[in-house]
């Protein structure tokens, strides 16, 4: 029970149900007009404050009446006496309880001062006091034993060589300081020992010309505190990262938004300039989110296989930098991986950052799983009734989302526009049921030739559209030619082998950061499709990039 609640309970026990004359302590009751209508025998100081219109007390009563809950506050009078005040609303009236806390406050203040003095004494304790000469060689050191060594063996030896025997002395070497200074959490590794973190306080001794002739100082082992603070910071970072990704899990409406938010959180927390979120499909690895300012093409397959036989986060060596990565699995099923990059010549990946990434692997796995579920549900809710492909609206939304994403990834996809030739002849000759069968067979063929990261949709009537993620135009044309090869089989299946049913196909590769509209991209693909129709139908044409046309005209 809080102190405020105890006060309220005490008042109700000793005077709340009747008059306040017998109530313990300093208590008074005021009515709606601010008149004192009852008081305890010890309430004189409180009565005086109320009649003086003490602002702290009147504001406390106003807040209690406005909120209809007890409020408390503190007040110090001109004589230095401290009071704790509580206002308890009771209908139109208000009960005010006061307690003189001067004595306990002064005791607390004295204890705090004593604690501060004790801390100063403890902080002044040191493990080693020393003096080095102008060449940084020890010429005095105490006590006789420190850090497990007999310090007399250090006399005459170079301090930096003893504290950093591997030659990795810090840039701000305390033994080389030219001014009085404090150096906190300096990493040292004495011969044959684990790394320590020391606090140095140094004071150079100068001659009449200002030249350093020696340096006196102390050092204190702060390894335990440093490791505890680092762990606390690591835990805080992990909690913050977990919270951000979890919030994204709960609030993101699309799979793309979810993965982008998770990637951005990793980029910020790990001070990276690039994060790749890569999904493992049966057909291969596909980046679904790339955030950051640095664009680089990675050998995803090599990175993926570098995790074989390895658990947890690890460092992957690149051409000019090392990446931090982790592979994500759920119930022995590979989901994908996250790769994080920054300039490791300036800031190499630390063991703590690997542990941080390991610590959020679970929530990243959940993010990948939910992103896959969101994408699957979106496709199911956006289907064309006849073919099961995406409908026109969903297709346009999806392609425009991918085009906007390409502004950040600098990757390129292909939009394929398919128009069935002489489809009306099928309906007129064999009936609409045969026409529907033909449309379904074309849709099935499209579904069978695309990857999970690609999208297939019915644009309307006998027109279809494919979006092929991260694919060049020539490869897309080779892939889609399988549909033309299937047309004789479709004609045979509907009983119209003598019919002219075929397909004309126009293909357009997107330009990252330029093409942002589905309609504009579809118009370019449609334009070359009609070139195919004009030259005999049943073939594929690729829209030429406008930059290539301008270069040729020049």
Judged on CB neighbours under 10 Å (0-12, 13-18, 19+), 337 is buried
The overall average pLDDT reported for the chain is: 85
On the question of pLDDT at 5 being above 70, the answer is no
All domains of the chain in start order, with CATH: 3-103 (3.30.450.20), 128-221 (3.30.450.20), 229-374 (3.30.450.40), 384-553 (3.30.70.270)
499-532, pLDDT tens digit by residue? Answer: 999 999 999 999 887 877 888 899 999 999 989 9
Please report the DSSP string for 365-403 in residue order: HHHHHHHHHHHHHHHHHTB-TTT-SB-HHHHHHHHHHHH
Structure tokens at 180: 């009085």
Please report the DSSP string for 55-97 in residue order: HHHHHHHHHHHHHTS-EEEEEE-TTS-EEEEEEEEETTEEEEE
Query: In this structure, are residues 148 and 191 in contact, taking their beta carbons and an 8 Å threshold?
Result: no
DSSP count for the chain of H helices, then E strands: 16, 22
- Is residue 378 very low, low, confident or very high in pLDDT (cuts 50, 70, 90)? confident
402-434, pLDDT tens digit by residue? Answer: 888 777 777 788 999 999 999 999 999 999 999
Bridge-based pairing state of the strands 502-509 and 540-542 = parallel
Beta bridge partners of 26: 98
Residue-level pLDDT at 374: 84
- Give the mean model confidence (pLDDT) for residues 367-380: 83
- Is residue 553 very low, low, confident or very high in pLDDT (cuts 50, 70, 90)? very low
- Is residue 221 very low, low, confident or very high in pLDDT (cuts 50, 70, 90)? very high
Please report the DSSP string for 452-492 in residue order: TTSEEEEEETTEEEEEETT--HHHHHHHHHHHHHHHHHHHH
Residue-level pLDDT at 123: 42
DSSP structural state of residue 551:
H
* Size of the chain in residues: 554
Residue-level pLDDT at 20: 76
Query: In this structure, are residues 97 and 16 in contact, taking their beta carbons and an 8 Å threshold?
Result: no
Query: In this structure, are residues 293 and 274 in contact, taking their beta carbons and an 8 Å threshold?
Result: yes
Bridge-based pairing state of the strands 93-100 and 128-133 = unpaired
* Tokens 């063991």, located at residue: 351
DSSP structural state of residue 158:
B
On the question of pLDDT at 4 being above 60, the answer is no
Residue-level pLDDT at 13: 57
270-293, pLDDT tens digit by residue? Answer: 888 888 888 887 767 877 788 876
Beta bridge partners of 292: 274
- Is residue 119 very low, low, confident or very high in pLDDT (cuts 50, 70, 90)? very low
SS3 content of the chain, % helix, strand, coil (to 5): 45, 25, 30
* Tokens 């809710």, located at residue: 381
The C-alpha atoms of residue 125 and residue 147 are separated, in whole angstroms, by 15
The C-alpha atoms of residue 16 and residue 1 are separated, in whole angstroms, by 19
């Amino acid at each position: 029970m809080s102190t405020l609640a105890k006060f309220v309970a005490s008042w109700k026990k000793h005077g709340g149900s009747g008059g306040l004359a017998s109530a313990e302590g300093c208590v008074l009751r005021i009515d709606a007009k601010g008149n004192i209508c009852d008081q305890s025998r010890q309430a004189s100081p409180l009565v005086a404050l109320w009649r003086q219109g003490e602002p702290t007390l009147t504001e406390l009563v106003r807040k209690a009446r406005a909120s209809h809950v007890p409020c408390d506050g503190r007040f110090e009078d001109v004589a230095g006496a401290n009071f704790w005040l509580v206002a308890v609303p009771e209908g139109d009236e208000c009960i005010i309880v006061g307690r003189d806390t001067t004595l306990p406050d002064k005791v607390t203040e004295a204890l705090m001062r004593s604690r501060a003095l004790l801390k100063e004494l403890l902080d002044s304790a040191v493990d080693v006091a020393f003096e080095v000469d102008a060449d940084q060689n020890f010429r005095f050191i105490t006590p006789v034993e420190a850090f497990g060594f007999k310090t007399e063996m250090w006399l005459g030896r170079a301090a930096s060589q003893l504290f950093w025997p591997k030659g990795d002395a810090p840039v701000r070497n305390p033994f080389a300081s030219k001014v009085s200074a404090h150096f906190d959490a300096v990493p040292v590794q004495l011969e044959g020992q684990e790394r320590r973190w020391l606090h140095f306080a140094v004071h150079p001794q100068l001659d009449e010309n200002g030249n350093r002739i020696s340096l006196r100082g102390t050092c204190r082992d702060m390894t335990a505190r440093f490791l505890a603070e680092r762990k606390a910071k690591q835990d805080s970072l992990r909690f913050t990262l977990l919270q951000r990704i979890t919030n994204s899990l709960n609030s993101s409406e699309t799979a793309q938004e979810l993965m982008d938010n998770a990637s951005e959180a990793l980029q910020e927390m790990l001070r990276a300039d690039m994060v790749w979120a890569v999904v493992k499909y049966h057909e291969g690895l596909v980046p679904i989110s790339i955030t950051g300012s640095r664009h680089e093409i990675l050998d995803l397959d090599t990175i993926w296989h570098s995790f074989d036989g390895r658990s947890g986060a690890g460092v992957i060596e690149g051409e000019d930098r090392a990446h931090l990565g982790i592979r994500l699995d759920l119930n022995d099923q590979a989901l994908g991986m996250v790769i994080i990059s920054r300039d490791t010549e300036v800031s190499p990946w630390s063991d703590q950052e690997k542990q941080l990434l390991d610590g959020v692997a679970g929530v990243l796995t959940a993010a990948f799983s939910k992103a896959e579920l969101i994408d699957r549900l979106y496709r199911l809710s956006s289907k064309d009734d006849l073919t099961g492909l995406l409908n026109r609206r969903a297709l346009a939304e999806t392609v425009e989302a991918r085009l906007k994403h390409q502004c950040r990834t600098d990757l390129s996809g292909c939009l394929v526009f398919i128009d069935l030739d002489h489809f009306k002849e099928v309906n007129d000759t064999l009936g609409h049921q045969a026409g529907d069968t033909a449309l379904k067979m074309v849709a099935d063929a499209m579904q069978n030739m695309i990857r999970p990261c690609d999208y297939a949709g019915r644009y309307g009537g006998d027109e279809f559209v494919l979006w092929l993620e991260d694919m060049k135009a020539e490869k897309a044309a080779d892939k889609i030619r399988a549909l033309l090869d299937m047309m004789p089989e479709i004609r045979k299946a509907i009983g119209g082998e003598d019919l002219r049913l075929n397909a004309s196909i126009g293909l357009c590769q997107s330009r990252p950061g330029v093409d942002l509209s589905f309609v504009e991209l579809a118009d370019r693909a449609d334009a070359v499709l009609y070139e195919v129709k004009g030259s005999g139908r049943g073939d594929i044409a690729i829209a030429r990039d406008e930059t290539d046309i301008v270069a040729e005209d020049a």
